[in-house]
Amino acid sequence: DGGITQSPKYLFRKEGQNVTLSCEQNLNHDAMYWYRQDPGQGLRLIYYSQIVNDFQKGDIAEGYSVSREKKESFPLTVTSAQKNPTAFYLCASSPGQSSIGDEQFFGPGTRLTVL
Amino acid sequence: AQTVTQSQPEMSVQEAETVTLSCTYDTSENNYYLFWYKQPPSRQMILVIRQEAYKQQNATENRFSVNFQKAAKSFSLKISDSQLGDTAMYFCAFSDYKLSFGAGTTVTVRA
**pLDDT tens over chain B, length 111 residues:** 679 999 999 999 999 999 999 999 999 988 899 999 999 999 999 999 999 999 989 999 999 999 999 999 999 999 999 999 999 999 999 998 789 999 999 999 999
Interface mutation target, options B32, B98, B101, B106, chain A, most CBs of A under 10 Å: B98
Q: Between A and B, how many residue pairs show a Cβ–Cβ distance under 8 A? A: 53
- The nearest CA of chain B is from the CA of A81 a distance in Å of 23
- The nearest CA of chain B is from the CA of A18 a distance in Å of 25
For residue B81, which of B8, B13, B1 has the smallest C-alpha distance? B13
Measuring CA to CA, how many Å separate A39 from each of A44, B9, B69? 12, 11, 29
Q: Which residues pair with B76 in a beta bridge?
A: B67
Asked whether the beta carbons of residue A101 and residue B33 sit closer than 8 angstroms, the reply is: yes
Is residue A92 a contact partner of residue A24, using CB atoms and an 8 Å limit? no
What pLDDT does B1 receive?
65
Asked whether the beta carbons of residue A98 and residue B97 sit closer than 8 angstroms, the reply is: yes
What pLDDT does A34 receive?
98
Q: Which residues pair with A94 in a beta bridge?
A: A31
Q: Can you give the C-alpha Rg of chain B in angstroms?
A: 13
- The nearest CA of chain A is from the CA of B11 a distance in Å of 14
Is residue B39 a contact partner of residue B89, using CB atoms and an 8 Å limit? yes
Q: What is the spatial distance between Cα A58 and Cα A72, in angstroms, rounded to a whole number?
A: 20
β-strand B10-14 against B105-110: which pairing, if any?
parallel
What pLDDT does B97 receive?
78
The count of other CB atoms within 10 Å of the CB of residue B55 is 11
What pLDDT does B6 receive?
97
- Give every residue of chain A whose pLDDT is below 50, as ranges: none
Asked whether the beta carbons of residue A100 and residue B103 sit closer than 8 angstroms, the reply is: no
Asked whether the beta carbons of residue A103 and residue B103 sit closer than 8 angstroms, the reply is: no
Q: Which residues of B touch A43 (CB under 8 A)?
A: 91, 99, 101
Amino acid at A23: C
Q: Which residues pair with A112 in a beta bridge?
A: A11, A87
Asked whether the beta carbons of residue B31 and residue A100 sit closer than 8 angstroms, the reply is: yes
What pLDDT does B108 receive?
98
Is residue B5 a contact partner of residue B46, using CB atoms and an 8 Å limit? no
